Structure 1
Amino acid sequence: MLAPTPASPESAGMSEAAFDRIEAHLKHRYIDAGRFPGTQLVVYRRGKVVHSTVQGFADLERKLPVKDDTIFRIYSMTKPITSVAFMMLVEEGRVALDEPVHKYIPEWKNLGVFVAGTAPAFLTRPPSRPMLIVDLLRHTSGLTYGFQQRSNVDAAYREMKIGEVIKAGTLDSMIADLAKIPLEFSPGEAWNYSVATDVIGYLIGKISGIPFEQFLKERIFNPLGMNDTDFFLPADKAHRFAACYSADPQGGMSFHAADRKGGLTLQDDPATSSFLAPPSLISGGGGLCSTTADYLTFCRALINGGELGGVRLIGPKTLALMTSNHLPGGRDLPEMSRSLFSEAAYNGIGFGLGFSVTMNPAQTLIPGSRGEYAWGGAATTSFWIDPAEELIAIFMTQVLPSSAYPIRRELRTMVYAAITDSNL
């Protein structure tokens, strides 16, 4: 796939001086302050890359700088890719969004909803309706993540090591384990960030008849030339793999105290990482590694209506369905969320089929456009696509958790401030 044309910000209605401010902000507040090891930011507008920079280190211990081809753990930015893959099967008439999940996972047919108790002695009640495929895509299934640490159901996930950063077991064993744990709530009643997209990956394999990872490679990665996107890194790419760190703010949340700095603790050494070998559990919810260039290729296909360079992933009407708000009653995430954690938590933001979706920019209190869609990953990676402004922004770093600093809000504000010629 041909790389996009680099161009000056001004040629696409943006300001170079504003981008200089963004990079100075990243350097001063985050890299020099010890909050981020290094960063990569790419902004694409009106068919051109108008900003692409790297700063700092991909690996602090070895003093290896971030480069254009650095490979990052994208964690939950895997979810939009998995969701698009599933919708390819929907387009082919092989599965429908309103079908019950137990049609494909019979052992889930009698899943109850948590009332009381702890594993394995749960008291449950029947759900008010069956879990549907659409519930998995929009996170209204009643499933959860153990790291939410909110309920006895979350605790059971942790006990059985379901949905952890380092994945245990296989997709088949995860599905079997989930059959033993009740739902947090009846499907459709609430929004809860969960392992649901891992289940979507399992269904892709089951419905397509080929392994999930093979489906992604044959139907998305190879056709688009996303050659650096995979669930593990072969030996010849290991030297390009970034280290991952845990944030230790140490009071560093206050950016006004120059003497207070954040701290970083090595969380995953690229020389010994589990990502250097094929995983036993192929996680459609958070298992991929990728480069900014590869992820931009995927995003360019989406902003172009599902097609890039003659390769069509999905049709524009399917994409429009995916990027509409699917939360019941047209509600937003804060209204419906049971999650203690989400990659997006702003007012005015709904959720589609694999993406957060901006419904009301004014309610977010951040510049943006109605219909903008986005998501992020646990290591503070993020992207958003704004069809109205013909804009894509992708940010990469490797710091857990993504909630440690308000970088996403800041980047949105500052990137939109760089627009000098709005389409709206």
Structure 2
Amino acid sequence: MGTAGLSRARLDRLHDTMAAHVEHGALPGLVALVGRGTDVHVEALGTMAVGGAEPMRRDTLFRIASMTKPVTAAAAMILVEECRLWLDDPVDPLLPELSGLRVLTRLDAPLDETVPAERPITVRDLLTFRMGTGAVLAPPGRYPIQRALAEAGLAPGAEPPTVGPDEWLRRLGALPLIHQPGTAWMYHTGSDVLGILVERVTGGSLGEFLRERIFEPLGMRDTAFHVPQDRRHRLATSYRADPATGELVPHDDPADSRWGGPPALESGGGGLVSTVDDYLAFCRMMLAKGRHGGGRVLSRPSVELMTSDHLTPEQRSGARVFFGDTRSWGFGVGVTVRRDNLWAVPGRFGWDGGLGTSGYSDPAEDLVGILMTQRLLSSPEPPAHVSDFWTSAYQAIED
């Protein structure tokens, strides 16, 4: 019998399942966490590098990529609660680079075939990814706007931005939107813009605001936009699979990591490094409706708003590659709306990181699951080791 609803015998099954993925070479190592109530179970398996001797540890640092998005959304909601931002106000007074935008007449149109934007972009548009631009889900270079975003260094991907926030936003504002604001869901870019908006409101860096208002209150000592030299030995090597051979090849080495120093742009969409225990603290705060210890990071209404479905059926169907038939989008988080699997519990919320991580919270089961690996994901569809982790986490529920 497990404590707080987790079965010891079934957690052994989780260990065996995840260990098999490491032993078969799908990835060099992983750290997996399942928490239910006060019971927290962690598996640290394999090594920090292919062929390496250093074992994975509970405090290994991972690049959490898009698992940054819920944190950035929480930061924005802190400012909404303080009446320093308003959900339905235009952002262009603070982000003048995004004023007077034009919109393509169609996805494959030339860049000069545009119409005026029917209204400004709002804070709500950034949180819900309906600002009008983002990841174009097509083979690279197919459309003029897709090529322009890539050439400007604005296309979402595994590489962190190489220019600072002012120049990044100037480049974005120089290009047309793909959709009218508020009409369609497009992945990623809204979070990066939201991070810059937080900086403009507060007059400091995004990292400073996150540290002061979220990380320090929650005890998230290892979460930041770069890894200091004295912690670099705890950063796992990042790998991608070679498309031709399937062999794992290095993507980012701790010795000369892109995360080894302060970045040009602290990406609100994908720039953080963290550990399973740090991210657990954030997830538990969200499960507690914003409460932590004897205080609050967010109000209960804010967390409820963040974790509600904000998309129309048409907007959701236009992003089926991300949502399928069971998920939708809140404020910076994916939310489950229909059950078709062990882990697809309505009300469950969280997101995945394209560099190999996954983290979700389930209010109905009082459960948090976090998987951190160093293998890049190759598509929005979860690979076998991610699906098997979530199956194993949910089958371990005792009651």
Instruction: Give the structure-1-normalised TM-score.
Output: 0.87
Which of the numbers 149, 168, 176 marks the counterpart of 1:157?
A: 149
Which of the numbers 246, 266, 279 marks the counterpart of 2:250?
A: 266
Structure 2 counterpart SS, 1:58: coil
> Aligned partners of 1:146, 1:349: CA distance in 2, in Å?
20
Unaligned runs of 5+ in 2: none
> Aligned partners of 2:252, 2:136: CA distance in 1, in Å?
20
Confirm or deny: 8 A CA contact 1:144 1:154 kept in the other structure.
no
Q: 1:370 to 1:119 in 2, by over 3 A?
A: closer
Q: How many residues align?
A: 393
Confirm or deny: 8 A CA contact 1:213 1:282 kept in the other structure.
yes
Partner of 1:259: none
Which of the numbers 17, 37, 42 marks the counterpart of 1:46?
A: 37
> Aligned partners of 2:343, 2:230: CA distance in 1, in Å?
42
Structure 2 counterpart SS, 1:63: coil
Partner of 2:334: 356
Report the CA distance between 1:113 and its aligned residue. 1.2
Q: 1:111 to 1:242 in 2, by over 3 A?
A: same
User: 2:324 matched to 1:346?
Assistant: yes
Which of the numbers 125, 138, 144 marks the counterpart of 2:134?
A: 144
> Aligned partners of 2:257, 2:109: CA distance in 1, in Å?
32
Report the CA distance between 1:195 and its aligned residue. 1.5
Partner of 2:71: 81
User: 2:375 matched to 1:385?
Assistant: no
> Aligned partners of 2:217, 2:167: CA distance in 1, in Å?
31
User: 2:234 matched to 1:240?
Assistant: yes
Partner of 1:255: none
> Aligned partners of 2:43, 2:151: CA distance in 1, in Å?
42
Partner of 1:399: 375
User: 2:218 matched to 1:218?
Assistant: no
Report the CA distance between 1:129 and its aligned residue. 3.3
> Aligned partners of 2:5, 2:123: CA distance in 1, in Å?
41
Report the CA distance between 1:117 and its aligned residue. 9.5
> Aligned partners of 1:188, 1:121: CA distance in 2, in Å?
21
Confirm or deny: 8 A CA contact 1:224 1:298 kept in the other structure.
yes
> Aligned partners of 1:409, 1:152: CA distance in 2, in Å?
35
Q: 1:408 to 1:138 in 2, by over 3 A?
A: farther
Partner of 2:105: 115
Q: 1:22 to 1:152 in 2, by over 3 A?
A: farther
Report the CA distance between 1:248 and its aligned residue. 3.6
Report the CA distance between 1:401 and its aligned residue. 2.3
Report the CA distance between 1:55 and its aligned residue. 0.4
Report the CA distance between 1:247 and its aligned residue. 1.9
Unaligned runs of 5+ in 1: 1-8, 252-261
> Aligned partners of 2:135, 2:6: CA distance in 1, in Å?
40
Q: 1:186 to 1:117 in 2, by over 3 A?
A: closer
Structure 2 counterpart SS, 1:371: coil
Q: Deviations over 1:205-259 (max 9, x none)?
A: 11122222111111111222211111111111011110000024768xxxxxxxx
Confirm or deny: 8 A CA contact 1:379 1:402 kept in the other structure.
no
Q: Which moved more, 1:151-160 or 1:365-374?
A: 365-374
Q: Percent identity?
A: 38
